[in-house]
Amino acid sequence: MRHCREAAVSATVEAWLGGPLPDIAPLLQPAAHAIEQVRRDLPPLLRSLAHERLWARPGRSASIGYHAVHLAGSLERLFTYARGESLSEAQRAALAQERAIDGVQPPVEVVATLVERALAAALEQLAGTREEALLVRREVGRAKAPSTVVGLLFHGAEHTARHAGQIVTLARVTEPG
């Protein structure tokens, strides 16, 4: 009985309370925990939604589907800049598609898989980032806005958590009766 209760509690413990994630530098643990929490919560939530709820726009808000696709795309773009790379043509094309995603409305499984892949790639990149590289200067976008590796990684995690929160709220707002 005790073992079952502990297993149920551990499944609901927030990622940051579970201790350090393996292979991730101590200074990157907060960003990794934020992304890990979204990885645990979001794909199952997305898969629980009917197509109509995924693309509903209550009060003219952005749809859950848009937030999910934007979450994945922006995380990938920010982490690309953190690596010191420019966006590829494929990433630019994906950004254009992201802006028009409400017109396309891909199925729930496609959106959930896109999110899962982006979160997994981000965690993998965090595991490969050395602490001594965190203050290396980086430039963002065509305007070459100044940042650092750590600034981009943390902004990616924060932005991801913000959109995940919006998705959770919209899922509740769109619940049937």
**What domains are defined for the chain?**
40-50+59-173 (1.20.120.450)
How confident is the model at residue 13, as a pLDDT?
83
For 123-142, the three-class secondary structure string (H helix, E strand, C coil) is HHHHHCCCHHHCCCEEEECC
Is it the case that residue 53 has pLDDT exceeding 60? yes
pLDDT tens sequence across 28-45: 999 999 999 999 999 999
Which structure tokens are listed for 21? 């994630």
How confident is the model at residue 176, as a pLDDT?
87
CB within 8 A of 81, min separation 6: which ones?
138, 139, 140, 141, 147, 152
Which structure tokens are listed for 4? 């079952």
**Does the reported pTM lie above 0.75?**
yes
Closest CA to 114 of 163, 54, 73: 73
How confident is the model at residue 10, as a pLDDT?
43
Phi, then psi, of 146 in degrees rounded to 5: -75, 140
Pairwise CA distance, residues 151 & 172, whole Å: 32
- Contact between 150 and 138 (Cβ < 8 Å): no
Pairwise CA distance, residues 127 & 121, whole Å: 10
How confident is the model at residue 80, as a pLDDT?
98
Average pLDDT score over the chain: 92
Pairwise CA distance, residues 132 & 16, whole Å: 23
pLDDT tens sequence across 108-130: 999 999 999 999 999 999 999 99
Phi, then psi, of 147 in degrees rounded to 5: -155, -170
Counting every residue, how long is the chain?
177
pLDDT tens sequence across 128-165: 999 999 999 999 998 999 999 999 999 999 999 999 99
Cα–Cα distance list, 89 to 50, 117, 152 (Å): 32, 19, 21
> Quick one: pLDDT band at residue 177, thresholds 50, 70, 90?
confident
Is it the case that residue 3 has pLDDT exceeding 80? no
Which structure tokens are listed for 83? 């690596």
